[in-house]
Amino acid sequence: MDKGRISSIQMGMMMYLTILATAILTVPSITAKYAKKDLWLSPIWASIIGFFTVIIVIQLSKRFPRQSFFQICEHTIGTLATKLLGFLYFTFFLIASGQITRTYAEFIKVFFIKTPVSVIMITMLLLSAFTVIAGIEVIGRVAQLFFPIFVFSVFIIIFLLLPQLEPSNIFPILENGLLPSLKGAIIPQIWFGELFLIVFLLPSLSDSKGMKWGILTVLLILVTFIITNITVLFILNQNTEFYIYPFLSATQLVNLGDFIESIEPIIIAIWILGTFIKITVFYYVTILTTAQWLKLSDYKPIVWPIGILIVEVSFWAVPNLMVNNHIDITVFPFLFPIMQTFIPLFILGMAVIRKKSKSLEI
Amino acid sequence: MKRFFLSLSFFLSIFMLSGCWDRVEVNDIAIITATAIDLTEDNQIKVTAQVFIPRALSGGGGLGTGGGDLTLIRTGIGSNLADAVSKLQMVLPRTIFWGQCKVFIFGMGLAENGIREQFDFLVRHPEPRGRAFMFVSKADTEKVLQLLPPLERYSGEVLKELLDFKIGLPVTMKDLDLMLTSDAQNAVLPLIKVYPPNKGKTENESIPYISGSAIFSKDKMIGTIGEYETRGIMWIKNMLKYSTISFKAGNEEEEISVSPVQSDVKLKPRISKDKWKMTIKVQAEGDVVQNETKLNLMDPETIKRLEIDFGKNIKHRIEAAIDPLQKEFNIDIIDFATEFHHHYPKEWKKVKNRWNEIFPQIEVSVDVNANIRRPGYTSTPSGLPKDEVKK
């Protein structure tokens, strides 16, 4: 369908930005609500889902090389079930894209008080739509371009915050046992589960190092996650859970010799870069899912209609920021693992039981 | 056709890309440099803002001292802070901008009534900085902001500069937020008084200065402590990196001064047999800057004796700070709760809800290791004949 090819490193960068762009800002706060001072441990437990998902997806693609996810499903569970599953994934990705777009808009709205939310979302989706039409190769290259900027900015901010860090805030470690940090892991695991998206990227890989870079991406995300969580904890201490965007609030405290201060525009800029990749990847996957599910010959004609639908969904599903965060806590911890980890696991299981595989004969 | 639409969209985007339709220029905003929040007699919130006048800085020809004031004062009264601020906007022709406000002052009336309700506005609003300093003022808050400091540009700047070299406890908005939710849930803020103006000057030509601290139980102010005790608290909190200490040397009548004293303080909590103990370990060292006595400072034996007296002085300072907290106020503002929580999480959980009862019973011991490193430029007391120098 999309003839473009990306390298597995580009795939890793895409996933890194997709996952961390939103995770850095809102997740520390939600994690802290349950894990309290052990919030830096939670990503470790959460990353297990990440590794698990990557391994499942890679195993699937090894059994069915260069096959799309729904083709794999057809081979294992039959046409009718695949059609049903396709519908499920279509709605799932539509809701996910809508919610991500809304989260982005809500954050930008804090600074652009007078700009209507719809304008913020439409301008972003317009840009994403052009990128999606251009295909996977362009998305991969844009990710490669933004990745160093993103990583560099995050670490320069952490570096500038070093004088403010209060390492004793980490104590007492595991005050109430392991349970709080495990509970805290329920939210970040959603983000790690998003690595499932590589199932749609693997057929476009130009090399065969998908496994290696998939695992490496999870590791890198894990490390960044822990570092940002620890930074936030060392600065905001027990108040982390009360801030909606703790990393942003921490960034506002940067002050180097009364000279370098108020650098939070940087974090807004990198957030826009990162979310652009995130929205584009989800948008692309939504389009691809729809096209593969309906067996369309080309995906380009549906890019615009689906884009309008994403904007609509982001309004229908989310009335305000409180509900947005509430959905993050109550619905997504169950919905995302089922769609991203357990259904692929089930399909892999079926494939193993029925001893199905398909070698290169397209 | 395609080319036409492409070029059209390029041209159209020129109008969009300028991004100026809702721009905010410097001459559209009223930059607030300091804010005071107080309670009126009929329990309304009064907010007083010190607004920077950019014109006063740019016009008027450089260093001319006779120019107009650099700031103006406006007040707004409302049922809460947000309401008062909107009333304040009614008397300001420009949009209020909080981003540069580095000083927030609570009036005594509000502090005694509880600051939490109004503090919420400052934390929730996206503009006020987490790094802004918080104060409590003994003097009328409006008067403090009206002062015209002779050295600095406006009174808010004076307070910020004073804190920069640690004259009082530097407490930022983020610190206050952390204090109020910390294990002990108490807070301490620097207290402002107005320095009496020099002879022949008008009442307004003076500066606000920091004198001691206000003690808060939860968010309500319950008392004040003096400068000496405040510095003791700063010792315990390890905030005092450089200071001057004068002490009586042994049996001598006169004093020896050491400066700058560099110090490092560690809190070591211990629980043994239900007795809660806190050891404050102080490591301090400094150089002699004044010697009133007749002692020869080059003698290692003398220095050894002096170091003991030096240590005793520091110990006294710290004990003097803890004493009123344990005996008079019964509240913990020196992070003892946090230390016990970190080291004894299980025991802490049992006493968490009645910490104010436990805190006065904690046995505090101060363990000082003080060193005098150098005598300064002279060895024997200056201006003293050699045969009068004591051993």
What residues are paired with B374 via a beta bridge? B287
Contact A262 B342 (CB under 8 A): no
Contacts of A68 (CB under 8 A, 6+ apart): A1, A200, A203, A288, A292
Which range, of A43-47, A127-131, B292-296, averages the lowest pLDDT? B292-296
* Residue A111 near chain B (CB below 8 Å): yes
Question: Measured between CB atoms, which of A115, A239, A252 is closest to B129?
Answer: A252
CB contact A208 to B (< 8 Å)? no
- Contact present, B91 and B72 (Cβ < 8 Å): no
Report the interhelical angle of A8-35 vs A321-330 (nearest 10°). Answer: 100
> Structural domain boundaries of chain B?
27-225, 227-391
- What number is the average pLDDT over the span B202-230? 87
Q: Do A238 and B342 touch (CB under 8 A)?
A: no
B391 vs B347, higher pLDDT: B347
The answer, for B257 touching chain A at a CB cutoff of 8 Å, is: no
Size of interface A-B (CB pairs under 8 A): 36
Q: Which of A107, A88, A101, A77 is nearest to A247 (CA)?
A: A107
- A362 pLDDT band, cuts 50/70/90, is very low
Is A261 a residue whose pLDDT tops 80? Answer: no
Q: Please answer whether residues B162 and B208 qualify as being in contact, where contact means their C-beta atoms are separated by less than 8 angstroms.
A: no
What local confidence, expressed as pLDDT, does residue B64 receive?
43
Mean pLDDT of chain B: 84
Question: In the beta sheet, which residues pair with residue B362?
Answer: none
Q: Which residue has the tokens 């304040």?
A: B88
Contacts of B267 in chain A (CB under 8 A): none
**Domains defined along chain A, listed by start:** 8-353 (1.10.4160.10)
| CB contact B19 to A (< 8 Å) | no
How many C-beta atoms surround the C-beta of residue B345 within 10 A? 15
- pLDDT score of B165 more than 90: no
8 A C-beta contact, residue A99 and residue A314: yes
Residue B61 has phi, psi (to 5 degrees) of: 75, 65
B130 and chain A in contact, CB less than 8 A: yes
Q: Does B161 touch chain A (CB under 8 A)?
A: no
Question: Which of A108, A252, A259, A263 would you mutate first to test chain B, the one with the most B CBs within 10 A?
Answer: A252
Residues of A in Cβ contact (< 8 Å) with B178: 236-239
The C-alpha angle A132, A136, A141, rounded to 5 degrees, equals: 105
Task: Output the CA–CA distances (angstroms, integers) from residue A313 to A101, A109, A300, A309, in the order listed.
Answer: 10, 18, 20, 6
Band (pLDDT 50/70/90 cuts) for residue B21 is low
Q: What is the DSSP string of B51-75?
A: EE-HHHHHSS-TT-TTS--SEEEEE
CB contact under 8 A, B131 and A253: yes
What's the pLDDT tens digit per position in A235-245? 888 888 888 88
Instruction: Give the residue with greater pLDDT, A329 vs B35.
Output: B35
pLDDT digits 0-9 by tens, A82-91: 889 899 999 9
3-class DSSP state of B215: strand
pLDDT of A358 reads 60
What type of residue sits at position B333?
A: I
Q: Which of A115, A172, A242 sits opposite B342 (nearest CB)?
A: A172
Longest dimension (CA), chain A: 67
Residues of B in Cβ contact (< 8 Å) with A115: 22
Give the residue-averaged pLDDT of A21-36: 86
Q: How confident is the model at residue B35 (pLDDT cuts 50, 70, 90)?
A: very high
Give CA separation, A110 vs A117, A246, A344, B390, in Å. 10, 14, 38, 71
Residue A231, pLDDT above cutoff 80: yes
Cis, peptide link before residue A172, omega less than 30° from 0:
yes
CB contact under 8 A, A175 and B345: yes
Per-position DSSP letters for A315-353, written without gaps between them: HHH-SSHHHHHHHHHHTHHHHHHIIIIIHHHHHHHHHHH
Handedness of CA A114, A118, A124, A130 (dihedral sign): negative
Token digits of residue A187: 């939210």
- pLDDT by residue (tens digit) across B71-110? 888 999 999 999 999 999 999 888 888 888 889 999 998 9
Class of domain B227-391: alpha beta
* CB proximity under 8 Å: B 162-191 to A: 174, 177-178, 181-182
Cross-chain Cβ contact A236/B178 below 8 Å: yes
Query: Is the confidence at residue B62, as pLDDT, over 50?
Result: no
- Residues in chain B within 8 Å Cβ distance of A171: 341-343
So what's the ipTM on this one?
0.77
pLDDT tens for each residue of A284-298: 999 989 998 888 888
Q: Which chain B positions have a beta carbon within 8 Å of A237's beta carbon?
A: 178, 182
Quickly count: other Cβ atoms within 10 Å of residue A225's Cβ.
Answer: 26
Task: Name the average pLDDT for chain A.
Answer: 86
pLDDT reading at B264 higher than 90: no
Span B371-378, average pLDDT = 81
Tell me the nearest-neighbour CA distance from A148 into chain B, angstroms: 26
Question: Would you give the DSSP letter of residue A36?
Answer: G
Interface of B with A in 44-103 (CB under 8 A): 99
Q: Is residue A256 classed as helix, strand or coil in its secondary structure?
A: strand
CB B233 within 8 A of CB B227: no
Residue B65: what pLDDT? 45
Among A169-173, B33-37, B156-160, name the most confident range.
B33-37
The alpha-carbon gap from A238 to the nearest alpha carbon of chain B, in Å, equals: 7
User: Is A166 part of the contact surface with chain B (CB cutoff 8 Å)?
Assistant: no
In this complex, do B130 and A253 lie within 8 Å of one another by their Cβ atoms?
yes
What average pLDDT does this structure show over A321-345?
Answer: 84
Could you list the beta-strand ranges (E) of chain A. 255-256, 260-261
SS (H, E, C) B233-248: HHHHCCCCCCCCEEEE
Strand partners, B363: B277
Give A-chain residues touching B343 at CB under 8 angstroms: 171-172
